[in-house]
Amino acid sequence: MDRNYHVFSDGRLERNNDTVRLVTEDGEKKYLPVENAEALFVHGQVDYNTRLMSFLDDHGVAMHVFGWGDYYSGSIMPKRGQTSGQTLVEQVRAYDDPERRLGLARKFVAGSIHNMRTNVKYYDNRGHDFASIVETLEDCRGNLDEADDVDEAMGVEATARRAYYSIFDAILPEGFVFGGRQYNPPNNEVNSLISFGNSLVYANVVSAIRATALDPAVSYLHEPGERRYSLALDIAELFKPLLTDRLIFRLVNRGQLSTDEFETELNSCLLTESGRKTFSKAFEETLEETVEHPNLKRKVSYQYLLRLEAYKLKKHLLTGENYEPFERWW
């Protein structure tokens, strides 16, 4: 599977023969084999030039830039000859038809509620009593069918997510106090981890969409182009519970990330470089985990599930066949 490379040091990224080289500020040279790379994730302060950009473009490698605040700052996407006018037309048609748009928006919310519920049930079976939260999520799932427009569907998703986040404080160990979602910038360690994790999910979805000729700015649940690539926001909703939240619980409860790994300044609390490294490494390992796919009859990685989700959506748009959102089946 295509790999992501994370760059944490400050310095200069440059093309060196047939590879990418990072020259750090103290002159150290590191080589990144981009042959089979999906994307570079840049976390440090990095200079680069057009020669590097066209090299990455030739190899179809995206560059996702992570900065301060809510972490994700932007992507530089390869042009990738494969744009499809027809796919874009079908994407816009579905957006323009209120019923179809609502149908898709509901699917994204339904899938994301299902995946939140899976996490809640997991911890409900491990010494917590989250029965009432499971019930709330099931009610939300029921109310979703009555949502008459996309705003209402969004409202249902927000209610579900609030209920879901309410279990975090019970699961996390002492020293990690959540108290509700805050971002831009995150105000405490837990929010910081959620922001960082979700922005990694988001960037990986952007890469997955890129492989399909879908236009990442035409979306259904989120308003198109509202901010960033809104279709990636739609799809990322489905995967946050699987990729971000479970990882946070694991890292924090096992003491692999302590409160020392955060820097607090003004109103913000952000991961230190070593905290980001730990989290990114564990995140990449999660992406490589595999699961038996019921229809493809082979094991696929979590990362490939993102790609499949983009295929499923594209197939729905181009063939009219039903789209069923990713719902954790194992």
Partner 1 sequence: MMMQYYEVCERELWFLSRNIEIDRENPAVVRGTHVDDETYEEKRRNFSIDGTISLDVLDDGQVLEVKPSSSLVEPAKLQLLYYLWYLDRVVGVEKSGVLAHPTERKRESVELTDENAARVEDAIRGVHEIVTRESPPPAEEKPFCESCAYYDFCWSC
Q: Which residues bind partner 1 (CB under 8 A)?
A: 2, 60, 82, 84, 86-87, 211-213, 295-296, 307-309, 311-312, 314-315, 318-321, 324
Cross-strand partners of 72: 66
CB of 120 to partner 1, least distance (A): 26
In the bound state with partner 1, the residue whose beta carbon lies nearer, of 233 and 305, is: 305
The least CB distance from residue 71 to partner 1, in Å, is 27
- Min CB(321)–partner 1 separation in Å: 6
Q: Closer CB to partner 1, residue 71 or residue 304?
A: 304
Minimal distance, residue 208 CB to partner 1, in Å: 10
- If the CB atoms of residues 233 and 306 are measured against partner 1, the closer one turns out to be 306
Smaller CB separation from partner 1, 82 or 256: 82
**Least distance from partner 1 to the Cβ atom of residue 60, Å:** 8
Between residues 262 and 304, which has the closer beta carbon with respect to partner 1?
Answer: 304
Question: Pick from 229, 287, 239: which is nearest to 75 by CA?
Answer: 229
**Identity of the residue, 81 or 175, whose beta carbon is nearer to partner 1 in the bound complex:** 81
- Find where tokens 């739609």 sit: 234
Q: How far is the CB of 103 from partner 1 (least distance, A)?
A: 16
Shortest CB 118 distance to partner 1, Å: 19
Q: Which is nearer to partner 1, 158 or 296 (CB)?
A: 296
Rounded Cα distance between 39 and 42, Å, is: 10
Apex CA 313: angle with CA 66 and CA 111, to 5°?
Answer: 75
